[in-house]
Structure 1
Amino acid sequence: MKTFDQLSVIGLREWINLPELGMVGLRAKIDTGASTSTLHASDIQPFKRDGGDWVRFTAHLGTLVQRRHRCEAPLVTVKTIRSSNGQAQSRYVIRTLLTLGDRTWPVEFTLACRKTMRYRVLLGSKALIKGQLVVNPALTYVQDKPVLISPPTTGAA
């Protein structure tokens, strides 16, 4: 059996932070079947700032207690995503820092309505590859809950 010493093990669900958006203590579901990560958002409004494309949105956090957090982030692109049931949908894509355990790296998120889903954040395979992570689906919350080390520098509203 081969081992991969440079890779960290995570479970099927993990605690994450999105520090540039000022969001801490989010429960994320790991979805190796999705290539792109997704963040539950509503009231999505594209706008211009200093000649660049940006997007303003309301992020929805928590499942039992609903919390809303207004965010702004540079717009990376608009992407057509095909869901597991075959429906195509255009989604805005942002890139922001993600903290999981003691690691922080940039991840692209599509913004989509996930109000009927248990988890408001999905981490797809591209984020796992870039973070050098492997998933043990028999485990949950393997990594310590990250803390917000410094105040957000960009993207918070």
Structure 2
Amino acid sequence: MPDSLVTLGWREWVVLPGLGIPRLRAKVDSGARSSSLHTDAQWRFTEAGAPWVGFRLTHGKARGLVVEAQAPVHDERDVIDSGGRRERRVFLRTPLRLAGCEREIEINLTNRGAMLFPMLLGRTAIAGLFTIDPASSFLHGRPPRPPSSADTAA
């Protein structure tokens, strides 16, 4: 455990490099046990005999950024949402980069299209490394925009 905890605001920019997501707004929520990631669509398949999930995420200004990713299924279990509804969700494990720190976290996939933030960062992802200042937002800035193919064309 680090000597001191890194302070987060109630909302922060995160990077999910293992899923090819270079930056995403997340609501930091110590009241939620698990972390959730918005998906527009999900599909299941088998890779080398193991269950995998593919998904599409649309986010950004006017939902203009589309990312498709895939990952092995870590688990599948029921989650009770903030409205009290029980839903069976797929869980994956993937690296999270936030505030100069990187750690592997567990994320469940669900449709958060009606929510303001495409990701909810729950307490199991922040435990032991981060603390929250509920009066602050985006304390660690916005990760740089990844270069587009137009930027790198010769």
TM-score (norm 1): 0.86
SS in 1 for 2:18: helix
Distance apart, 1:31 and its partner CA: 0.9
2:139 equivalent to 1:142: yes
| Equivalent in the alignment of 2:152 | none
2:5 equivalent to 1:33: no
Q: CA RMSD in A?
A: 1.9
Which runs of structure 1 show a deviation greater than 6 angstroms over 4 or more consecutive aligned residues? none
| 1:93-113 deviation line (CA, Å, top 9, x unaligned) | 111111002101111111000
Distance in 1, matches of 2:144 and 2:90, equals: 27
Distance apart, 1:42 and its partner CA: 2.6
In the alignment of these two chains, the number of paired residues is: 145
- State the AA in 2 paired with 1:12: W
**Structure 1 portions without partners, runs of 5+:** 150-157
| 1:108-140 deviation line (CA, Å, top 9, x unaligned) | 11100011111000000000115x100000000
**Structure 2 portions without partners, runs of 5+:** 147-154
Selected match of 2:96 from 95, 98, 120: 98
TM-score (norm 2): 0.87
- State the AA in 1 paired with 2:135: A
Mapping 1:53-92, distance limit 5 Å = 53-92=51-90
Distance in 2, matches of 1:63 and 1:32, equals: 26
Distance apart, 1:45 and its partner CA: 1.1
